Every structure is written in C-alpha cells, then in structure tokens.
C-alpha cells in the first residue's frame, strides 16, 4: 500500500483543503489555527510577528474543565475588526459564566485586536481565523447560537449580500441560512452610518431574526459611534447586554 505524506507549505492553500499554513499542519491534533504573521500597519506591506496583547479589562477566569467542554451548549462568537474586539476575553468570560461553551471565529481584520493566548485560556482553543480543512468538523453544526461582536460595516453588508469570502463570513452566512438564533452588536462610525446600503443591511438582519444591540447603550436600536468616542464606547460596553439577549432567544 502506498502512503502519502502531506507536504508542509509556507503559504495557505485552498487547493490542499487549507490543512497546511505557515508550516503548521492544521489537520494535526491541537494544531494552532491562527496566523502569527500579519501586515504591519506601520510599515509599507512589511510582515511582523503578531505579539500577544495583554488586556486590562478584568479577570478572565480559569480555563474550562473537560466536563464543561462536553456538557455546555456552544455559542459561536464572530469577532470583526473594530476596537471593541479588544474586549473579546471579557465577553467570552461573561458567556462562560452564563453556562455557555464558546468558540471564537475572527475576521482577518480582527487579528490585530485579538489576544489568542487569553482566548485559548478561556475556551480551550485559539480563535479560528482561517477556513477549516475538510478533515475538521463544521463549527456551525454544533452551535446553539451565534453572536457577532463587534459587527462591522463591512461584515454586515457582505452577509446581507450573501458574500462568504472569509471563514467568519461563511459561518455567519450559514447561520443566517439555517435560522440559528443570533445576536449582533454593530460598531460603525457616523461617517459610514449614512451610507445608502447600511439601513437596508440592518433591516435585512432584523427580518432574518437577528437581535441587534446598541454598542453605546445596550438598547435594541443600534446607533453610530461618534468621532473620537471609540475608547469611551469600548470601556463602557457591558457584556451583560449580550448575555441577557441570549437568554431570551
């Protein structure tokens, strides 16, 4: 019988099922599932290693036990590239405290904000940033609910149009298709809020049954983030606004 050894490539390839990227076999048990290299926003296209961010928004709590991983319902947390993404460990801790098991899926733009070490400590795995391989289970099949926090202008507009060009958008579009209970927290600045497509995309989400949460007040009617108010909005966001919505789904 002939045996085949899967080659290790320095680049991610959809042709090989997305199993190998950056020299890591993603089909192997416990393989790291996020890129450690990303474009440097401070250099002209240069690459740098993404450092681990240390967040100061409170105690994140212990890692989940094996019993918790087996018995608690799963919520998929989709994180987009906006300042509120830095609070992801706080949100994960709040969800875990309400009896949820959490799997974090990030858009490519969220990588600059996420702390994979803190997330792995809470969930038992780093965030998913790339397409799964054919050998890995479909995340959405095991999920009881989906949360998008923060939800950006780009992601909501793409999802409303049925565009699925990242793993995070694929998960979101599939959740919309099957009617999975969903909560979303749009974080969009006032300059984009008036775009002609935006109101239609929000209405699409409402018609699809998505519960929208205002990032500023926690209310049910989303509002734009004023210029210069990002830090204040991030600091004032209460994860309870989300966990309370999940209880009523």
Confidence of residue 139 (pLDDT cuts 50, 70, 90): low
- CA distances from residue 46 to 40, 69, 144 in whole angstroms, order as listed: 6, 39, 40
3-state helix, strand, coil in the chain (%, to 5): 35, 15, 50
pLDDT at 100 over 50: yes
Specify the pLDDT at position 60: 43
Collapsing DSSP states into helix, strand and coil, what is residue 202? helix
pLDDT at 54 over 50: no
Whole-number average pLDDT of the chain: 77
pLDDT at 66 over 80: no
Specify the pLDDT at position 132: 67
> Assign residue 227 a region: left if phi > 0, alpha if psi is -120 to 50, beta otherwise?
beta
Confidence of residue 136 (pLDDT cuts 50, 70, 90): low
Specify the pLDDT at position 140: 63
Look-up: residue for tokens 């909005």? Answer: 233
pLDDT tens-digit readout, 166-194: 999 999 999 999 999 999 999 999 999 99
Confidence of residue 129 (pLDDT cuts 50, 70, 90): confident
Q: What's 64-247's CATH class?
A: alpha beta
């Amino acid at each position: 019988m002939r045996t085949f050894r899967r080659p290790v490539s320095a680049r991610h390839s959809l042709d090989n099922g997305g199993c190998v990227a950056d020299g890591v076999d993603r089909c192997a048990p416990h393989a790291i599932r996020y890129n450690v290299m990303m474009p440097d926003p401070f250099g002209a296209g240069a690459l740098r290693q993404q450092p681990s961010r240390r967040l100061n928004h409170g105690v994140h709590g212990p890692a989940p036990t094996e019993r918790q991983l087996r018995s608690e319902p799963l919520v998929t947390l989709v994180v987009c590239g906006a300042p509120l993404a830095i609070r992801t460990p706080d949100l994960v801790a709040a969800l875990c405290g309400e009896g949820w098991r959490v799997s974090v899926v990030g858009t490519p733009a969220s990588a600059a904000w996420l702390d994979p070490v803190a997330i792995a400590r809470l969930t038992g795995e780093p965030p998913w940033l790339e397409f799964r391989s054919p050998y890995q289970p479909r995340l959405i099949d095991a999920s009881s609910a989906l949360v998008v926090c923060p939800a950006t202008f780009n992601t909501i507009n793409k999802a409303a149009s049925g565009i699925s060009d990242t793993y995070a958008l694929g998960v979101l579009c599939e959740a919309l298709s099957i009617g999975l209970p969903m909560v979303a927290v749009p974080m969009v600045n006032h300059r984009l809020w008036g775009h002609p497509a935006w109101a239609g995309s929000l209405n699409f989400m409402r018609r699809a049954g998505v519960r929208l949460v205002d990032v500023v007040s926690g209310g049910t009617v989303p509002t734009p983030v004023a210029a210069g108010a990002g830090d204040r909005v991030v600091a004032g966001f209460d994860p309870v606004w989300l966990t309370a919505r999940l209880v009523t789904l």
